Amino acid sequence: MQPADHSPPPILTRRLELQPWTREELLADLANMPPAARAEVSPEWLRAVETSPAHDPWIHGFKVIHRESGGVVGRCGFKGPPDAEGVVEIAYGIEPEQQSRGFATEATAALASHAFSQPLVRLVRAHTLPQPNASTRVLEKCGFTRIGEVQDPEDGSVWRWERRRPSAGTPPDHGRG
């Protein structure tokens, strides 16, 4: 990933552009959220954003932009940089009126592929509600394996999903398929 003081390039897929947020854009977006939505924002993550450099995709994440229309259809990102074991956690969300079009699958595949393009990352993790749903189908399509149910300090009981770094010689999947 680019150094934190330079704007990283977007991640391009067949239909989407994952455009990195800047700290200022993200803080402005968070300030404009309805109170109920803002209450769902992790206080720990918000502190990380407020103290981050201007450009840090590990913390700020990406706007998911439909390339043809130019409209923002969602957001995705990492919950922080890789930990000491090379693990990153991803999160994603597509606007309700844009769901069921494959955008979450395409963005998630590209985000995981991008994470694995970084030498430190050996495993990408995600969490979902502990029941079959659209998000679990996205992760299955993107090659994640459900590990089991765990207790998340902020979300309670969740299913943990993981995808290991592809073996050498496996072509990257940027959601272009």
173 within a domain of the structure (yes/no): no
Tokens matching residue 36: 């109920």
- Residue 176 falls inside a structural domain: no
143 assigned to some structural domain = yes
For 46-59, give one letter per residue: b (16+ CB within 10 A) or e: eebbeebeebbbbb
pLDDT at residue 80 tops 50: yes
**Residue 177: inside a domain, yes or no?**
no
Tens of pLDDT, residue by residue over 14-33, are 999 999 999 999 999 999 99
Residue 138 lies in a domain: yes
Domain assignment of residue 3, yes or no? no
Helix (H, G, I), strand (E, B) or coil at 74: strand
Question: Quick check: is 175 in a domain?
Answer: no
**Total structural domains in the chain?**
1
State the first-to-last Cα distance of the chain, in angstroms, to the nearest integer.
23
Q: What does the pLDDT look like over 114-157, one tens digit per residue?
A: 999 999 999 999 999 999 999 999 999 999 999 999 999 888 99
Position 6 in a domain: no
- pLDDT at position 15, please? 98
CA of residue 46 relative to chain centroid, distance: 16
CATH code where residue 106 lies: 3.40.630.30
Provide the residue range defining the domain that includes 85.
Answer: 11-164
